[in-house]
Structure 1
């Protein structure tokens, strides 16, 4: 396909201690396709990166970059075949990913805590340092590491609940439970910067995404390809992505044909929030700046505050959902209805 990016890196061959310039070993390969590059421009400003083992006779790893659109569709946007996970292989993948696919500023990179990823993202000339890009950890990997030290039945769940908390109040609720189980658990968690693993400190960059989605990608796109030779594997990714783009394109055309201009996922969330928004009493706090206070007439969740401050101008709410998910929470929708905003 015209516009396909493929970067091949080889290693020299030595015979009897002498360099044989007529031959070379396959070392690494990065590739991506034009539709993936174009599609990423319309996805959320975040990327998940991960690696999965290859089962062929030559072994190695397949590194992937995963995006997601506002309709919750996942999309593999770049690939690399490498010898394994290390600083050099991740640097090879991430440098070409940045150059060819993810050129937008302010991106969030979700990954595990592998030292090779850390070294590649923190390289001064890599283009992945703030404010050009930010990093967050996949909570599934963090919880797996946590469970290696703390074996209790519910300890992993408590850490995950702490990470998913969207407000400081909810975070401390779960963190205090964790401390009551074993103070050492909190000491372990405190060794990781909060912005890397907790949702309430991510400044909304995660869009609610706490994992890398690698298992879903393996099942949907990569199933059955990890034992293939190099050329066959690359062709398989092309074929399966082509099929995906055709199917999703037809779905989008059918949706647009019925007059639906917004993503179905977003519409369903807004409709659900509108039903809840009827349970509030709205008071204007500052009309000029579109600030309100919301009082619940019916509890709406486990961490109900009873009263919330909402700013439509800054798109914030005390519940944390507006900031974390980037669409109006029930409290914000109640304010919109009160102000006759549609």
Structure 2
């Protein structure tokens, strides 16, 4: 900060002007040259003296006054430099960082291109991308703290979270610190941390019993991986349920994450569990003592990862859609038809696919545990909890029983059921034979086992059009055959 300065109408320096520090002197000179499109070079820079040439100014530290004072000044800087057109040597990343701090504080994710535009508007110079990037990093560090400080504050943040909300879960694992080969006594460093918020844990109780897990690499100063588990509610809202920062996608790291996930968040049994085919995940499941194996959980593979592996193996992009459709086949008939189509293109393709158990990648054989989910792509963690609760309560008050998503499906299925005829009914076993008109396609519907040959009833747990027709024929309540997860009070 500057000391009290004489008021100078034309913005010029004057002999006798005082500054509180050496830094204040340099900042004032930089601001002057940047805004006037001129420059200077440092001729002498000592602990008690600062002397700039071309435009002559000498500032000296005054011991008795505890300030820096301009002792010589040759007046208005009249010379210009043609090289100062797009950028300015004194408009360095530190100067830019100070100027953009208000913007970064409001939006830490502000794009570098936006910062360049702000600097151009403020200083009338277009600075380089690299200088802008460095300036933004310095502004972020100045406002929010550096990497080391943020890292050291991590336990404090988690402790604050535990005090602020009821029943969160935080589990640290640390390891000894070494300097070279020597153990540093009384110091331990972060190895892994797992956490889940109370709202996430509670929300999962009302979601579909499906969990998707995936990891993403961290590329800043402190490397490692962020592991995330998500689920989905009955209105297709994505619900993040657990997180971990680990050293990498190793078997030990996945075991750490999955064991904590099972112990603290996914406590119910009969869940579908979707991941990629990473060997470390499979090893972690093998070590889990049955907690992620049938009948407690049913491990499925993401069809997009299978598709990606297939293309890497065969380089046959024209078969990409067929591989995905095989996975999404809801009935055995659909699966066999698409499987044979792939086999016709080459037995090497189906031989490769046969190495993967079909109950781990195809809806027709998954036992209904996937609920129609086939990927780990629930990555858009949309705003949830408070806002969604308010919206849900409003719909309940309006008399809506089911979520918006399923209500639209139910209405469509109910309309389509009018073109279906019931040809046979086994009352004792609640089994129907139905015909779609005018196509004449036949379906068997088993209400007791929640199954229909269309495949949608058992996969989505929503009354399909055939079920609507059966209920209308026997005057049954079709709402009984819609899973509770789709009800508004669950959402």
Measured against the shorter chain, the TM-score band is 0.7 to 0.9
Larger radius of gyration: 2
Q: Give the match for residue 299 of structure 2.
A: 135
Offset from partner CA, 1:239-295 (integer Å, 9 cap, x none): xxxx62111111111111101122121211111111211111112331222211111
Q: What's the Cα RMSD here? A: 1.5
Residue 73 of structure 1 pairs with residue 240 of structure 2: no
Counterpart pick for 2:350 among 186, 193, 216: 186
> Relative contact order (C-alpha < 8 Å, sep 6+): which is higher?
1
CA contact (8 A) 1:95 1:126 kept: no
What residue is the counterpart of 2:423 in the other structure? 283
* Corresponding position of 2:441: 306
Match of residue 413, structure 2, among 270, 273, 276: 273
CA distance in 1, matches of 2:166, 2:316: 54
Gaps of 5+ in 2: 1-164, 478-491
- Secondary structure at 2:245 match in 1: strand
Runs of 4+ in 1 over 6 A off after TM superposition: none
Find the aligned partners of 1:82 and 1:46 in 2 and give their Cα distance.
Answer: 23
Q: 2:213–2:229: 8 Å Cα contact kept in structure 1?
A: yes
Instruction: Identify the range of structure 1 (70-79 vs 118-127) with the bigger mean alpha-carbon deviation.
Output: 118-127
Q: Take 1:85 and 1:307, find their aligned partners in 2: how far apart are those partners?
A: 48
Aligned to 2:488: none
Secondary structure of residue in 1 paired with 2:470: helix
1:205 match: 369
* Contact 1:53 1:60 (8 Å CA) reproduced: yes
Pairing 1:321–2:456 present: yes
CA contact (8 A) 2:259 2:288 kept: no
TM-score (norm 1): 0.88
Matched pairs, number: 313
For the residue of structure 2 that corresponds to 1:104, the secondary structure is coil
User: Do 2:311 and 2:317's aligned partners in 1 also have CA atoms closer than 8 Å?
Assistant: no
> 3-state DSSP class of the match of 1:200?
helix
- 1:212-252 residue CA offsets vs partner (Å, 9 max, x unmatched): 124434xx4xxxxxxxxxxxxxxxxxxxxxx6211111111
- The structure-2 alpha-carbon separation of the partners of 1:189 and 1:16, relative to structure 1 and needing over 3 Å to count, comes to closer
**Counterparts of 1:313 and 1:144, CA distance in 2:** 39
Counterpart secondary structure, 2:364: coil
CA contact (8 A) 2:290 2:296 kept: no
Give the whole-Å Cα distance in 1 for the aligned partners of 2:472 and 2:219: 56
Supply the distance in 2 between the matched residues of 1:315 and 1:107 (Cα, whole angstroms).
18
Checking the alignment, whether the CA contact within 8 Å between 1:279 and 1:296 is kept in structure 2 is yes
Give the alignment of 1:158-197 within 5 angstroms: 158-197=322-361
Report the Cα offset of residue 124 of structure 1: 4.7
Deviation by residue 1:75-110 (Cα, 9 ceiling, x = unmatched): 100000011101000001001101110010111110
1:17 deviates by: 3.7
For 1:124 and 1:65, the matched residues in 2 are separated by 17
Mapping for residues 64-143 of structure 1, pairs under 5 Å: 64-125=228-289, 127-143=291-307
Check the 8 A contact 2:238/2:378 in 1, yes or no.
Answer: no
CA distance in 1, matches of 2:323, 2:199: 38
Helix, strand or coil at the partner of 2:369:
coil
Structure 1: gaps (5+ residues): 221-242, 300-304
**1:27 CA displacement:** 1.1
Taking the aligned partners of 1:310 and 1:2, their CA distance within structure 2 comes to: 46
Partner of 1:46: 210
CA positional deviation for 1:19: 2.7
Q: Aligned in 2, Cα 1:49/1:16: closer, same or farther, shift over 3 Å?
A: closer
Shift, 1:154, TM fit: 2.0
The alignment partner of 2:187 has SS state of strand
Q: In structure 1, how many angstroms separate the alpha carbons of the residues matched to 2:447 and 2:180?
A: 72
Describe how 1:197-236 pairs up with structure 2 within 5 A: 197-217=361-381, 220=382
Contact 2:210 2:273 (C-alpha < 8 Å) held by counterparts: yes
- Secondary structure of the structure 1 residue equivalent to 2:304: helix
Whole-angstrom distance in 2 between the partners of 1:87 and 1:298: 55
